[in-house]
Structure 1
Amino acid sequence: MKLIFQLAWRFRSSKQQNGYISFISASSTAGIALGCFVLILLLSVMNGFERELKDRLLSIIPHGELYAVGSDGIADWPQAIASFETDSRIESIQPYTKATGMLQKGKNMKAIELVGIDTQYAQNDGMLNSVPTGQWQAFSDDPKGVMLGAGAMKKLDIKVGDKVKLLLPQLSDDLSIRAPKTLWLNVLGVVNIGGELDNHIGYMHLKLASETLGITHGVQGLRFRYHDPFIAPIITREMGYGFSQEVYMSDWTRTQGHLYQDIQLVRVVVYITLILVIGVACFNIVSTLVMAVNEKQSEIAMLKTMGTTEGRIVLIFMLQGFINGLIGTLIGLACGVLMALNLSTVAQGFEQLTGIQFLSGDIYFIDFLPSQLKWHEVYVTGIIALSLTILATLYPAKKAAEVNPASVLGH
């Protein structure tokens, strides 16, 4: 085996080797390295987006909701909460009432969706961790307090301590529009969720929201957080079908699921595309080895006359191509891992240097480029690259083994 390795290395690094062959060999190695590097980097970015989606967005929005079909709300909701709390898959439950209307500050108006929450349940839920403690306490103490998304406050030029008017539409029995209900609310806190949600969401007190909307049972629905948010559709439907009254069912995959689906789609496209790029680079090894076999026919013939078997000839040229692929794979993986571990820092430095922002917090739910390296993806990428390299060496190695010493040396 040592002799096979020495011959493969000698053939690969021979100074007499044609310059064009050397160039093709180097480009195939560089192509494999680049493909592995970009694949590791982009997969890490997709992992980072998925992590931020789970840790940021899904830590604030509910994973699942059950809300009453009728206008009276959820009957016996404290008993329903007590019953659901026995399910080990549920992390927390919170009663709520939604009030959708227009928020007015001076002459400026904006559509808003205010969620009425119970402060005791909200504290246990942890959904308002982004609100400073002082603002949360002020909101808890004022029954007419409201906390608004940072985007909504910016668009209406609202500051903490201002008073705002909430206009809620009303329908008469014949479905004609009546004069809207008006509420004056005290802005006591800012909610930073990120992305579009900041532009149209806010929180008010559950009791005030239910009384204003005429919810006689006190709450319009129940919001759930699960230990595993990715099974929300299954659990929510299971609870909804078994609920004691008619309810609508919703979960985060219906409201924000497009973000997760986009991440998964991009991940699949990236994987397929870059595996093909690695494949093309690997099969450049075919050209390199075919030309090397043609150039080294006399050496191959001499080895055969000295008793080298065809199997060993095959191994020599397979090993020669494998070395190219191994070098490219190791360089690509090393660079990809190094960049993935430091991508956020590198991206921030580039933004400060050029003034170009990759992600805007007004559009996306984060304002930085996330990255999370998963080692099993590094291993899979390396295995795929090396497997394609081995496949690419089979044909040229077989052609090398078929060289006829008599015809070559006879000339």
Structure 2
Amino acid sequence: MFRPLPFFIGLRYTRAKRRNHFISFISAISMGGLVLGVMALIVVLSVMNGFDRELRQRILGMVPHATITAARGELTGWQDIQKTVESIDGIEASAPFIEGQGMVTSNGQVKGMMLYGIDPKLEKTVSILPDHMTAGSLEGLESGSFDIVLGEILARSLGVSVGDKVTVVLPDAAVNPAGIFPRMKRFRVSGLFAVGADLDASLAYIHIDDAARFMRYKEGVEGLRLRMDDLFAAPRLAWDAAMQLPGQYYINDWTRTQGRLFQAIQMEKTMVGLLLTLIVVVAAFNIVSTLVMVVTDKQADIAILRTFGAKPGAIMGIFMVQGSVIGVIGTIVGTLLGILLALNVSAAVEFLEMILGVTFLDPGVYFISDLPSQLLWSDVVMIASGSLLLSFIATLYPSWRAAKTQPAEALRYE
């Protein structure tokens, strides 16, 4: 079978046992560096993708994709507005809400919170809250019962559980014959939820009718929560919905309330990726040093090939093939190991925890108990392509130096 001369000799040099074992050692180090760098990049980016996915599912499952509120006062006739909004393509569902800031106190403990009045039947269409109830149920919130659902961390800090009483205090003042007092009301804890992050320490839910009475809404609600098919279309769809409604409305979306968090995650992913890319760059520099030493070691061979009529381009191709083989093998092995580890990173962490006797992700501290991983093939292709490109570029200078070898100079002392 016909094989080009540079390809044949380059592979022969790669397979042959060198007289200089130090060169072989440097070649192995170069290949190992590529394997380690490519594997680390794939695993770390997969883990960061997993964290990003978990945050999106948990936080944006609780936080509204978008909201529509009245420009002034209460949002009245919200049922008609809901029908108009849900007729827009891209908006999956909507639900009314009443929102207020306040404090909750029990057993001598006082905590700040966001209090939401919701319709339990409609809330499950726009929120993942019903799927993360750890005690009681969202349907247990009934009009007039003045029950409350708390996050697990908030309930733990107050020392309460299902069936206990808590006092909710609003910043509005109420005037009575005894003087001026903040508005407060006793509620019974009917359920607990745990979705992760800081939400479990800052959110509480009551029935929307109880919220209207407590916060003195006369005949309307504060606004509508919207759930979109596509998260990134939320700003445009919320604006389209407001434009189709008569009157003036305020619109808000998750890119304003939570956008900075996800921008920070994306920036962190980019910076970590760039730092880990340095491992691949160092391995590519090792290829340069390896080939420079090989060229020096093979001066006589290069001179003989040149006297037999080999052109400078053929000499250059020999060493480009030899360096590229190191890059290809290192990239392939690193990619396969990275994919394997990224798909089984949770099992690997559990094994390390069992061997070392430590807990890396304590559920009491972090909002997850295992290491999430989401392998994106676009990342794999980008990393493998970048590694191959760096390996190829690393072969150019040593190969060019080999092609410039003068036969007479190289054979003078032979």
Q: SS of the counterpart of 2:331?
A: helix
Letter in 1 for 2:88: D
For the pair 1:89 / 2:72, whether they are aligned, the reply is no
For 2:291, which of 281, 289, 292 is the aligned residue? 289
Cα pair 1:211 1:218 within 8 Å, conserved: no
The 8 Å contact of residues 358 and 369 in structure 1, kept in 2 or not, is answered as no
In the other structure, the counterpart of 1:125 is 126
In structure 2, C-alpha distance between the alignment counterparts of 1:260 and 1:14, rounded to whole Å: 52
Residue number in structure 2 paired with 1:370: 372
Matches within 5 A, 1:6-405: 6-70=8-72, 72-127=73-128, 128-131=130-133, 135-140=137-142, 143-171=145-173, 178-240=180-242, 243-361=245-363, 364-405=366-407
Contact kept? 2:317, 2:399, Cα under 8 Å: yes
Give the drift of 1:348.
2.8
Displacement of 1:347 in angstroms is 1.7
Shift of the 198–224 alpha-carbon distance from structure 1 to 2, 3 Å rule, reads same
Which runs of 5 or more structure 1 residues have no equivalent in the other structure?
Answer: none
Change in 2 beyond 3 A, CA 1:232/1:363:
farther
What amino acid is the match of 1:198?
D
Number of residues of Structure 1 aligned to a counterpart in Structure 2: 407
Instruction: Note the alpha carbon deviations across 1:304-362, whole angstroms, 9 max, x for none.
Output: 22232322211111000001111111121111111100011222333344454434545
Higher mean alpha-carbon deviation, 185-194 vs 127-136, is at: 127-136
- How far is the alpha carbon of 1:185 from its aligned partner? 1.4
SS at match of 1:111: strand
SS at match of 1:109: strand
Q: Within 2, Cα distance between the matches of 1:196 and 1:47?
A: 20
How far has the Cα of 1:250 moved from its partner?
2.6
Structure 2 CA distance for partners of 1:24 and 1:83, relative to 1, 3 Å: same
CA contact (8 A) 1:207 1:218 kept: no
Q: Which has the larger displacement, 42-51 or 177-186? A: 177-186
TM-score normalised to structure 2 length: 0.91
- Kindly state the Cα deviation for residue 62 of structure 1 after the two structures are TM-superposed: 1.2
Shift of 1:99: 2.9
Residue identity in the other structure for 1:282: A
Please give the secondary structure, in 2, of the residue aligned with 1:233: helix
178 and 112 in structure 1: CA distance in 2 versus 1, 3 angstrom threshold: farther
How far is the alpha carbon of 1:241 from its aligned partner?
6.0
Deviation at 1:183, TM superposition (A): 1.6
Contact 2:136 2:192 in 1 (8 A): no
Amino acid at match of 1:289: L
Q: Percent identity?
A: 37
Q: Structure 1 residue 407: deviation in Å? A: 2.5
Give the C-alpha shift of residue 69 in structure 1: 4.4
**Shift of residue 364, structure 1, vs aligned partner:** 4.5
CA contact (8 A) 2:106 2:166 kept: yes
Give the Cα–Cα distance (whole angstroms) in 1 for the partners of residues 410 and 355 of structure 2: 62
Q: Is the 8 A contact 2:134 2:194 kept in 1?
A: no
Q: Distance in 1 between matches of 2:368 and 2:139?
A: 26
Task: Output the aligned Cα RMSD.
Answer: 2.4
Deviation track 1:276-300 (CA, whole Å, cap 9, x = no partner) reads 3312211221111111111101111
Superposed CA deviations along residues 208-249 of structure 1, whole A, max 9, x for unmatched, are 101221222321111111111123233334444665444443
Task: Please say if residues 108 and 156 of structure 1, whose CA atoms lie closer than 8 Å, have aligned partners that are also in contact.
Answer: yes
- Cα gap change, 1:178 to 1:64, in 2 (>3 Å): farther
> 1:96 & 1:388 partners in 2: Cα distance?
55
Q: SS at 1:203's partner residue?
A: strand
Q: Distance in 1 between matches of 2:248 and 2:314?
A: 75
| Contact persistence 1:195–1:362 (CA under 8 A) | no
> What do residues 95-116 of structure 1 show as CA deviations (whole Å, max 9, x unaligned)?
0001322212232222222210
Deviations 1:167-217 (A, max 9, x none): 2221479xxx94122222121111112111101101100011012212223
- One-letter amino acid of the structure 2 residue matched with residue 278 of structure 1: V
What TM-score, normalized by structure 1, do the two folds share? 0.91
Give unmatched runs, 5+ long, in structure 2. none
CA distance change for structure 1 residues 372 and 250 in 2, over 3 Å: closer, same or farther?
A: same
Partner SS state of residue 334, structure 1: helix
Q: Which piece of structure 1 moves more, 36-45 or 129-138? A: 129-138
Distance in 1 between the 2:410 and 2:347 partners? 59
